Chains A and B, each alone.
Chain A
């Protein structure tokens, strides 16, 4: 399924947080959505998932405007991992992951035959099997984040939108999750992930979309997007670069003046 964003504008309290954005998104690539706080990344995500109606423009799935596709049909095709979500009740981790199967159930609540396997696969993919039987409240922040990622994997949709899935993780699990997301994307799924870690973004993503103040100001391969000029404009930082074997390492290095 291809997702097209056509001249999309979304206003919050009258202020355009996504401002005339157009994008074509195809599965099979890991797309990193980057940009400073307040750039409009989460608002764009919410519009892509149909959680927020566009004020202007449209989100189009395979040629059909999202507004014409039912909530349930969208839910089967696109999984959305909210930024810093939490479980409000003391559920067990695997019960949280099983919530990802809800879009596939008909009216009523009986589990489908393949559900248990899908939950197992999702727990493995997010490296959360070890604590599947434990209640969410007994888990650390990073463990909870992995369970929630597994919940999004469990939908087994064509697209996965993950808003900062590695923010709470230790380095080993950051690498693990990024590897898994890249693998998933190259396996044919569409994966878009919001990241603040430019090093991870440049290393693992096939394509980066850089937003600032609601506009897309860079779109292409990490080398094309993460230029010194773009880093200065968007984040107000310089970038340090190094080569590690055959791979390029990029890291934010110094602040330039006073960033808004």
Chain B
């Protein structure tokens, strides 16, 4: 087995990758923009078409991609660590499904037509409701298995309710719009979306990152982790609420972007020697790089209507995952 690289070097390399992807994301787009000139215009306070494209379209898109990718990767690593299951991601606790349902309800009820941020706010409310329901169902002192089952139930319910809303939609174009939104996209997100989501995301990240040592201890099971001084009820609360905030706010703004939370921790786990605490930050950075990269791909391909980001991440993620499993099987 190959030796894991030094943690600091790994974090540094991934950060460099994210920065490079961010710059590339700002540079790539449908309109030909002289980015250097546009940046100069922004700093000089001159309004120009280039500056407008940059601040209204490219920057929000790149920032949102970074934030959402980081959230999905981080939350995936957190859930895999908490549940000690490599197949987990934020989906297993029902948060992403419920956030999508909340946003769909904002759509369906027509509230989203009244003000721009109704959609993400609906999504965040959905995620909050999911966590409340999860805790009512699973209780504070509950076992991990109960949490997973409760999450699966919530996810199914949210999925069914979302389908019901589409089913009952009188206007096929509205239903179509919802379907497209559910596929996930970073297009046409503004800085006000970023401002709405960012505080929730950051609080969620901090809650998850603070649980790193507890996730390390959980490697040896719940009794051993408790005997090492961790209050497991509190650890679960931090991780589930942190994930709900990070992923709920992400899905609320961008729609569902699948496979990032599942694949990224898998890919990076060997590089941190399997340690779940160290996997957190690294997976966040990896997730940001993947989402930014996929979103650049969406624009480079240039198909109309634009490919949805969730579709692309799954198209890249699923075959990649199969290859990974194939290799694991051969090694075993």
Contacts and interface: CB of A to CB of B under 8 A. Distances in A.
Interface of A: 46, 49-51, 71-72, 74-76, 78-80, 82, 85-92, 95-96, 99-100, 102-103, 105, 107, 109, 135, 138, 148, 151, 155
Nearest to B86: A89
Nearest to A163: B223
A95 B220 contact: no
Contact of B220 (A50, A75, A99, A138): A99
A51 B229 CA distance: 10
Interface string B94-136: 0000000000000000000000000000000000000000000
A135 B275 CA distance: 11
Interface string B219-251: 111011011111100000000000000000000
Interface string B144-188: 000000000000000000000000000000000000000000000
A109 B230 CA distance: 14
B230, B269, B275, B276 interface centre (most CB from chain A within 10 Å): B275
B1 A86 contact: no
B83 to A, nearest CB: 10
A49 B218 CA distance: 17
A213 to B, nearest CB: 23
B226 A71 contact: yes
B228 A102 contact: yes
Given A51-B227, A135-B1, A86 B277 contact: no
5 contacts: A86-B220, A88-B221, A99-B219, A102-B217, A102-B229
A89 B221 contact: no
Contacts of A155: 228
B223 to A, nearest CB: 5
Contacts of B216: 99, 102
Interface in B184-221: 210, 212-213, 216-221
Contacts, number: 87
A102 B229 CA distance: 8
B301 to A, nearest CB: 37
Nearest to A73: B229
Contacts of B210: 107
Contacts of B29: none
A172 B250 CA distance: 56
A148 B220 contact: yes
Contacts of A135: 1, 273-274
A201 B210 CA distance: 43
Given A87-B219, A91-B219, A99-B216, A75 B275 contact: no
Contacts of A95: 273-275
A87 B1 contact: no
Given A89-B269, A89-B276, A109 B229 contact: no
A51 B270 CA distance: 32
B246 to A, nearest CB: 20
A80 B219 contact: no
B185 to A, nearest CB: 34
A91 B273 contact: yes
A71 B227 CA distance: 8
Contacts of B299: none
Contacts of B212: 109
Contacts of B220: 82, 85-88, 96, 99, 148, 151
Nearest to A79: B227
B229 A72 contact: yes
